[in-house]
Structure 1
Amino acid sequence: MMPDAATPLFPLTTVLYPQGILNLQIFEVRYLDLMKKCLRDGTPFGVVSLLDGTEVRRPEEKVQLAKIGTLVKIDQHDFVTPTLMEISTIGTLRFKLQSATQEKNGLWVGEIQTLPADPVIEIPDHLQGAANALAELIESIDDKGISEQQRPFRKPYRLMDCGWVANRWCELLPLDKPTKLQLLALDNPLLRLELIDDTLQAQGLIGPQ
């Protein structure tokens, strides 16, 4: 697969997965300009995790970006003020970061290689506990009357799909960043869910199947 054209990057301390929801407050000029361009052209940008450095630009700061990230599309946006924008984004495809450069305004741009979407794999019986626990969590959110915009994930809830269930637990569990990145890099969603299932059992969140 050939690398994609240069893609604007948004370095963050978090790790985002496909179909994940990421809400951001945009106030830096470089990112306000980027969001306006993405909205105008209907183009995505890449969310990539910071291994070194901070989210707000600092002069002479050392920045190191992870080699795996997720493209996102803007789902909702609101200009709170002319210099403050609130957006809600949804993760789409994973990508490998081949190289990255920083422009004069501080915006990072990367040469990326997009990765195929996870194949849909039905959850096997021995991993059903992870899906059941996630369904119970969703039910508890429903009972609390939490609005769609405030929920950690959006419909449709694909509770029979290994990749979707694994990705939601990857976002919810208090895993360290290297572990989250390793799970994001896995091309096999069944293996990703198996590792998550082990973690859920180790933390006593589900019982052995």
Structure 2
Amino acid sequence: MTDTHALDALPLFPLELVLFPGGFLPLRIFEVRYLDMVSQCEKTGAPFGVVTLTRGNEVRTAAGDLAGGAKTSQAVFHPVGTLARITQLSRPQPGLIMISCTGAQRFEVGQTELLKHGLWTGRAKLLRDDQSVPIPEDLLPVASALARVLDTLKAQGVTPEQMPIQPPYALHDCAWVANRWCDLLPMALAQKHRLMTLDNPLLRLELVSDLLERNGIAT
């Protein structure tokens, strides 16, 4: 459960990706603003928010380090994002942190603030979790195809730590299967973000099924 008070100033990490609930996100942290953020999250056990960039860069340029991050202020991101909880952390060298995160609850950020050292924070409101909806019979092939992908990756010698999909697996659940396909399928960020924001997990799975057909992936 997330402390509601922490959501009054949720640290935000704008990235050129979409994090889905239950998704696996490895990150290499080297910017001071995010080194501080990750260290604080590790200390308190609090999550940070991943939001999808629509304009701007993930990494600040030299110009962005001046005047409290003028360049960074040009970043624009979607207001709906996903909480990221740190599951593994290592410090292989000074000034570098490697983390693995799991996507948790979705949120919508309202008022945002760019702090002096370039970190965005925002007042966030948690969105309700996806309902647990069993996969209907006509969409079971979508789950079977995902299971085959997992089996293929394991057969190819992909280690558990390198798997793009992390346990626990929920191959019976509409939202989980749809989300994991969204993690894997190549699609425009805007399209992926629209799927993430859908409140109906069955509809999300149906749209994923259509995408699989269009991509020639037999289900």
TM-score normalised by the chain length of structure 1 = 0.95
- 1:20 counterpart letter in structure 2: G
**Structure 1: segments with no counterpart, 5+ residues:** none
Give the alignment partner of residue 34 of structure 1, picking from 25, 34, 37: 37
The 3-state SS of whatever aligns with 2:8 is coil
2:67 equivalent in structure 1? none
Partner of 2:21: 18
* 1:192 paired to 2:195: no
Matched residue, 1:115:
127
Tell me the TM-score normalized by structure 2.
Answer: 0.91
Percentage identity across paired residues of the two chains: 44
Instruction: Give aligned pairs, total.
Output: 206
Q: Any idea what SS the aligned residue of 2:206 has?
A: helix
RMSD: 1.3
Counterpart-to-counterpart distance in 2, 1:205 and 1:71:
30
Give the partner amino acid of 1:25: R
d(CA) in 2 for partners of 1:83 and 1:67? Answer: 30
Instruction: Report what 1:204 is aligned to.
Output: 216
- Displacement after TM superposition at 1:145 (Å): 2.1
For residue 132 of structure 2, what is the amino acid of its counterpart? V
Q: Which runs of 4+ in 1 moved over 4 A?
A: none
The residue that corresponds to 1:137 in the other structure is 149
Corresponding position of 2:136:
124
Paired with 1:101 and 1:204, the residues of 2 have a C-alpha distance of: 44
Q: 2:106 & 2:112 partners in 1: Cα distance?
A: 16
More helix by share: 2
Name structure 2 gaps, 5 residues minimum.
65-69
User: Partners in 1 of 2:198 and 2:82 — Cα distance?
Assistant: 13
Q: Deviations over 1:81-131 (max 9, x none)?
A: 121110000000011121211100000001111111111111001111110
